[in-house]
C-alpha cells in the first residue's frame, strides 16, 4: 500500500506556482481529507468520511458525509466537495482525496464515481484509510467504460 510523504512533482492537472512546482503535496491534500472527517454528520452509520478536492486554480474545496434519518437522502463527502466546487464555478477538477474511518482504503461509491465522471473522467483520486495510508487511482479505471455525455449522442438510422 502506498504511503508517500515526499513532495510530488507537478503533473498535468496539478496547480503550479508558475515556477513548475506543485503548490501542495498529495500528502497535504490527504491530510485535509482526514481532518474533514471531524465535520461529518454520520449518526446512523458511524462511518466518518472527509474529502478534499484540489481545483486547477489551486483552490481546495472540502466535504464530509452528511446523513439523514431518511437514509437515501444522505450525501457522501466526495459529492459535497464536488458540489461546493461546481457551485462556485469550478469545473477544472485536479485531484480528489477521500479519507474514511476504517483500516480499508475508502474508495468512492458508485454514485460518486458516476457524478465525478461527468466533469473529469480522468480525475486522480487519492483513497485513504483511517491512519492516512493512501493509494492513488484514476477515475476512468474505477468506472470502466463509464456512461457520459457522449454516450447520449444518437446514432444515425
Active site residues: 78
Per-residue interface string for the shown chain with ligand THU, residues 35-74, x marking contact by CB under 6 A: -------x--x-x-x---------------x-x------x
CA–CA gap between residue 8 and residue 20 (Å, rounded): 12
Q: Which of 108, 124, 126, 139 binds ligand THU (CB under 6 A)?
A: 108
Contact 59, 89 (CB under 8 A): no
Using the minimum distance from each CB to ligand THU, give the nearer residue, 60 or 98: 98
Stretch near ligand THU under the rule CB under 6 A, chosen from 13-21, 24-32, 101-109, 115-123:
101-109
Q: Which helix (H) or strand (E) holds 95?
A: strand 93-99
Please state, in angstroms and rounded to a whole number, the distance separating the CA atoms of residues 13 and 122: 10
**Radius of gyration of the chain from its Cα atoms, rounded to whole angstroms:** 16
Q: What sign does the dihedral 103-101-133-15 (CA atoms) show?
A: positive
Q: Is 106 in the site for ligand THU (CB under 6 A)?
A: yes
- In this complex, which beta carbon is closest to ligand THU, that of residue 20 or of residue 110? 110
Most distant pair of Cα atoms in the chain: their distance: 55
| Residue 77 interacts with ligand THU (CB under 6 A): yes or no | yes
Residues found near ligand THU in the complex (CB under 6 A): 42, 45, 47, 49, 65, 67, 74, 76-78, 98, 106, 108-109, 112
Amino acid at each position: 500500500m502506498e504511503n508517500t510523504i515526499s513532495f510530488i512533482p507537478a503533473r498535468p492537472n496539478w496547480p503550479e506556482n508558475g515556477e513548475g512546482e506543485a503548490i501542495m503535496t498529495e500528502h497535504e491534500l490527504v491530510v485535509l481529507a482526514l481532518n474533514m472527517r471531524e465535520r461529518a454528520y454520520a449518526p446512523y452509520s458511524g462511518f466518518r468520511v472527509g474529502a478534499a478536492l484540489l481545483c486547477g486554480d489551486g483552490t481546495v474545496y472540502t466535504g464530509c458525509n452528511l446523513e439523514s434519518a431518511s437514509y437515501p437522502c444522505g450525501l457522501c463527502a466526495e459529492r459535497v466537495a464536488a458540489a461546493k466546487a461546481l457551485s462556485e464555478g469550478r469545473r477544472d477538477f485536479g485531484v480528489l482525496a477521500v479519507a474514511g474511518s476504517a483500516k480499508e482504503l475508502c474508495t468512492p461509491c458508485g454514485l460518486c464515481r458516476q457524478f465525478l465522471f461527468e466533469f473529469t473522467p480522468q480525475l486522480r483520486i487519492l483513497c485513504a484509510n483511517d491512519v492516512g495510508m493512501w493509494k492513488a487511482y484514476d477515475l476512468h479505471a474505477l468506472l470502466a467504460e463509464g456512461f457520459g455525455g457522449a454516450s447520449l449522442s444518437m446514432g444515425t438510422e
